[in-house]
A and B are shown apart, each in its own frame.
Chain A
Amino acid sequence: MSKLSYTKAMNRALVDELAADPDVCVIGEDVGAGLAGPTLGLVERFGADRVVDVPLSEQAFTSLALGAALRGMRPVLEFQIPSLLFLVFEQIVDQAHKISLMTGGQAHAPITYVVPGSGSREGWAGQHSDHPYSLFAHVGIKTVVPATPSDAYGLLRSAIRDDDPTVVFAPAAAMGIREDVTWQLAPIPLGRARIHREGGDVTVVAVGHLVHDALAVADEVAAQDGIEIEVLDPRTLYPFDHAALESSLAKTGRLVVIDDSNRSCGFGAEILALAAETGLLRAAPRRVSRPDGAVLPFAIELDRALQPSRDRLRQAVRNVTA
């Protein structure tokens, strides 16, 4: 048995893919030194030709990866800050994502965009605390938000093997998590949810690090209120595992979503819409999210005030089951 950290799990996924496939390479700022964590030690093992430090030119290196992908490579790009995705939205959405359709299937873009440390990093304020996964799911880019170290390992490997562009968001608040891993780590298919806890009263869909909050709240309300929460982690936000949501709602008929995106047009709103379309809801659903158009303020009390919390989740669960 070993304690696997989230960062180490990402690192192992990269090691295993680099070792398995010579077309895989890692590109990013300070990836050689391993500044963000997941790429630590890779350059010593695979060389600067496979683990490539690039100048601070996100737009150029993001589409450089597309050009390389068109010539047979499988680049993995690391972004130091989630907001950098705003800079390269053009290169990811307009170029990599659209190329398969626009070329009538002649070209694919097997590129993985990794954001280690997405969401609030506490004290990093407005421009370093976004968690922009909803934007990517909205445009139809494969979007993955692993909650646990073994999921981070398995989903990152599948993302790298996938022939389409895929964004992997590693929530900053999950990267400190460790897990006892007694089994052989393996790739996990994209598009499959994971039920972390079974329960018959209410389905809580939780994304990323909030899975751990949902599990803590589930234990509490089971003990205090006798409410049994089913905790469903979609893991892949796009494509979303409709079947898993439906079978859970068939049991519970009640839904709360907790996710760290902005409320309006956010991922939580999408889950509520999907749930409404199933016709399985017996009570009005609830969302626990950041407020509309949120910008995280600096002071720690203010930062936390805008993020989904266990208190708000507990309240929402009590509301839908009342």
Chain B
Amino acid sequence: MTIADLYRSMRLIRGFEELVLDLVKHGEVVGGTHSYIGQEAVAVGVCAALRPDDLITSTHRGHGHVLAKGAEPRRVLAELLGRRDGLNRGRGGSMHAADLGKGILGANGIVGAGAPIAAGAAWAERRSGSDRVAVTFFGDGALNQGVVLETLNLAAIWRLPVLFVCENNGYATTLPARTAVAGSAVSRAEAFGIHAESVDGMSVEAVHEAASGCVAHARSGEGPALLECRTYRFEGHHTIERRFRLSYRTPEEVEQWRARDPLLTAGAELSDEERERVDAEVEAELAEALAFAQASPPPDPADASRYLYADQAAFGATS
């Protein structure tokens, strides 16, 4: 994985998210989204350390993770627009994007809920003799969810091939992590005997290197690992935040982190020519994705409960 590849993947996520912000503003994406802008180095660095057949579970802030894991941008975008060709056929939207064929077991609207699902997938993989690894992404807020702590214990005693990626962007909605998390992500994992590291989440190369080590550790059967990535989201918690005048972080703080934008640092390692070429290619890809998504028809309201049960014919929902 070259720096140009890593940059391209981050550029794609950034461009996708900027496009989505615009679509939210114009009412084309209903419900709003949780922007991933600023955190791209984490999804890209971690997913670059995975094989295509490895597995991930994601969060409410999941666009970056699913794109980095290989979901097609045009189908993710169609999903956000609630269209038939969406990843989830318009049934999931931003917080539930899933692409089982690509090892993406689902974003999740419940904080911390993906951790035990990833552990279960890892458990099943090991039982079946495969050496796949499952990664679960979660935020600093999720560190206080009981189910995550229960899962750390279970994964540790069973030595499951899971990588816990704590994306510490400093806030759970408006609550600063420093006032909410006793100890640290690393110290918590270590209390369970889990190999844990903390890395600069604004450097895609640093994340990639640390994640590669953790993934190798998990794959080799040595048990789970936890990687804390210190990062920052440049936008609000959710696009709805734009409507409020919330002041839980200072403009200076945001500016300081923006100066460390992972796209700037990674982009600086490319020649101007190469960077501009990648930027143009990504822009063209996103334009095509938008055209595809907008051309996709909306689903049929008569089918609103379709897919609720595996055998829909036998157990159709009644209304």
Contacts and interface: CB of A to CB of B under 8 A. Distances in A.
B127 interface: yes
A55 B154 contact: yes
Interface stretch (B194-202, B238-246, B278-286, B308-316): B308-316
Contacts of B123: 64, 67-68
A223 B110 CA distance: 57
Contact of A106 (B99, B119, B127): B99
B124 A104 contact: no
Interface residues of B, number: 50
A90 B55 CA distance: 22
Given A102-B91, A102-B98, A68 B121 contact: yes
Contacts of A164: 309-311, 315
Contacts of A59: 116, 146-147, 150
A60 interface: yes
A140 B317 contact: yes
Contacts of A128: none
Nearest to B108: A95
Contacts, number: 146
A140 B116 CA distance: 23
A212 interface: no
Contacts of A63: 113, 115-117, 120, 147
Nearest to B160: A64
Q: Which of A61, A71, A107, A162 has the most CB of B within 10 A?
A: A71
B154 A57 contact: yes
B124 A67 contact: yes
Interface residues of A, number: 41
Interface string B289-319: 0000000000000000111111100110100
B309 A191 contact: no
A100 B308 contact: yes
Contact of B120 (A57, A67, A105, A162): A67
B74 interface: no
A164 B118 CA distance: 19
Interface of B: 55, 57, 86-92, 96, 98-101, 105-106, 108, 110, 113, 115-125, 127-128, 134, 146-147, 150-151, 153-154, 157, 305-311, 314-315, 317
A49 B127 CA distance: 8
User: Which 3 A-B residue pairs are closest in the complex by CB-CB distance?
Assistant: A67-B120, A104-B89, A163-B310
A140 to B, nearest CB: 7
5 contacts: A55-B154, A67-B118, A67-B121, A102-B91, A105-B307
B117 A95 contact: yes
Contacts of B91: 101-104
A64 B116 contact: yes
A60 B119 contact: yes
Q: Which of B147, B153, B308, B317 has the most CB of A within 10 A?
A: B147
A70 B315 contact: no
Interface in A134-192: 140, 142, 162-164, 191
A61 B100 contact: no
Interface string A43-82: 0000001000011010111111111111111000000000
B144 to A, nearest CB: 14
B306 A67 contact: no
A100 B307 contact: yes
Contacts of A99: 106
Given A63-B113, A142-B315, A71 B128 contact: yes
B307 A104 contact: yes
A161 B125 CA distance: 21
